[in-house]
Amino acid sequence: MTEKLRIKICGMRDRDNVADVAALHPDFMGFIFYPPSPRNCIGIDPEIISQLPAGIEPVAVTVNAPAADLLSIADRYGIRTMQLHGEESPDTCAWLKAKGLKIIKAIPIHGKESMELISRYERVADMLLLDTAAASKGGSGKKFDWNLLDEADITTDFLLSGGIGPDDTSAIALLRHPHLIGIDINSRFESRPGYKDIELLSRFLKPLKQYSPNMNRLTNLLNNKTTDLLSVYFTAGYPALDSTVGIINALCKNGVDMIEVGIPFSDPMADGVVIQNSGTVALRNGMTLSLLLDQVKEAREDNPDTPFIAMGYINPIMQMGAENFFRRAKESGIDGVIIPDLPFDIYMSEYKALSDRYDLPMIMLITPETSEERIRLIDENCEGFIYMVSAASTTGARDRFNEEQLGYFRRINDMNLKHQRLIGFGISNKVTYDEACRYSSGAIIGSQFIKCLASNPTPEAAVADLLTKISRQ
């Protein structure tokens, strides 16, 4: 599923409040036609609904209403989508569909056994809505166990409902199901029954509107672009503690394909002098892994599409706890992870499961000294791309690749690996950038960009300087 998360806001009836909610541009707006509800819309002016902006689909929410009443609601209010919240049978759903109505069937969930009810409606409903089972009709304002979705065999697109509130953004971002297409929200965003708190809704929806269920941005990029990729590395917290967001914004604005955010560490054994020094400055500035993830999360709000990759040594990740790191990285909008000193056997035994669970591809490094057997093992068991280290030495900018390095690039190409490769270490100018793109899917630039950050007054100027050096403007 690659489309944006669809948003349904339910339970309005006041004309001005409806207009204010519509200004937030949800995909659906639900109007409840059920007399016991304090949000009941029976008798409201049909113009409140008919004047919704184009692109917002009105939905009539009903509970065990006679079929004739549903047809009457459809005609009077111009609503063609019915959300059925009672014990309406599959035959009733099929009959209404035959009358030209679109059906969303609500399924009450109170445990694993509830999932069996879903199969009865999958062939007759256009969409399902999974809501928490309640003693009374309508929503309960409480969540069911979302972990049930992990093993749910659902083949119809569905909306998630039930107790979703302002603090659930991160939890929603962790959900994975091929048929989850959106969420339904109601009572937890109200100042009083039937009146939505627009400011609260706006804050909640801003990051979610950039989120696509089941899509990893890195995977999506690699599926759609196979040449001339540019990945840029920088150390979070350099040159200043609060530089991270501005640097990411500048890179995204200028069309960099992916961004590697470096986790500063006191003993970076594979890094050259430039990156080592940037890490020392970042640590002195007060950068931590937790703060880095907070800053990335802030940057993600305004940059919904560019893949972000967290790159750092294993020690800070172990200090945070691997599970906690992967969870927070996913919540922050990270799309992949590079841990240069992670042994492959430890990846297979401990980290691969986390990578799969959180849909965060682990990018592995190979060097000219990596055996063909190990390279093929990496190609078979890892996701994302393969990071081709251009030389068996530390990072650092070089003017050109030597013949031995070019031979290494050709040798890897001849292996016909299934994963794309990007070449890093030593990319500094048009010559090395073009050669990296010639022999792989693209280039990774680190040291040269950090030099640009040091010699330019703003992130925007540093990015422009880098792109000029590699003639990519």
pLDDT per position as a tens digit, 129-172: 999 988 666 556 689 999 888 778 899 999 999 999 999 987 88
Please give the Cα distance from 72 to 236 (Å, whole number).
60
Averaged pLDDT, 206-230 = 82
Thinking of the domain 6-208, which architecture would CATH place it in? Alpha-Beta Barrel (3.20)
**323: enclosing H helix or E strand:** helix 322-332
**Is pLDDT above 60 for 397?**
no
- Label residue 176 by pLDDT band (50, 70, 90): confident
pLDDT per position as a tens digit, 230-267: 999 999 999 999 999 999 999 999 999 999 999 999 88
Q: Is 3 annotated as catalytic? A: no
pLDDT value at residue 136: 65
The answer to whether 366 and 392 are in contact (CB under 8 A) is no
Please give the Cα distance from 69 to 87 (Å, whole number).
16
pLDDT per position as a tens digit, 6-47: 999 999 999 999 999 999 999 999 999 999 999 999 999 999
pLDDT per position as a tens digit, 292-318: 999 999 999 889 889 999 999 999 999
Other beta carbons less than 10 A from residue 123's beta carbon = 11
Helical spans, DSSP H, in 83-232:
90-98, 115-121, 169-173, 198-208, 217-224
The answer to whether 347 and 365 are in contact (CB under 8 A) is no
Please give the Cα distance from 154 to 309 (Å, whole number).
31
Thinking of the domain 217-469, which architecture would CATH place it in? Alpha-Beta Barrel (3.20)
For the chain, give every residue range classified as CATH 3.20.20.70.
6-208, 217-469
Q: Is 260 annotated as catalytic? A: yes
Kindly name the residue from 157, 271, 359, 383 that is annotated as catalytic: 271
- Label residue 63 by pLDDT band (50, 70, 90): very high
What's the whole-model pTM score?
A: 0.66
Kindly name the residue from 168, 260, 331, 359 that is annotated as catalytic: 260
Residue 386 burial (10 A CB sphere; 0-12, 13-18, 19+): buried
Averaged pLDDT, 382-396 = 81
pLDDT value at residue 270: 61
The answer to whether 423 and 233 are in contact (CB under 8 A) is no
Q: What are phi and psi of 18, to 5 degrees?
A: -60, -45
Q: Which is more confident, 348 or 269? A: 348
pLDDT value at residue 151: 76
CA distances from 473 to 20, 26, 107, 300 (A): 42, 37, 52, 24
CA distances from 341 to 176, 283, 306, 346, 375 (A): 29, 20, 26, 10, 16
pLDDT per position as a tens digit, 322-365: 999 999 999 899 999 999 999 999 999 999 999 988 889 999 99
Nearest CA to 108 out of 96, 121, 97, 95 is that of 121
Amino acid at 138: G
> What residues are paired with 195 via a beta bridge?
192
Task: Please identify which residue in the block is written with the tokens 């008919």.
Answer: 50
- Label residue 396 by pLDDT band (50, 70, 90): very low
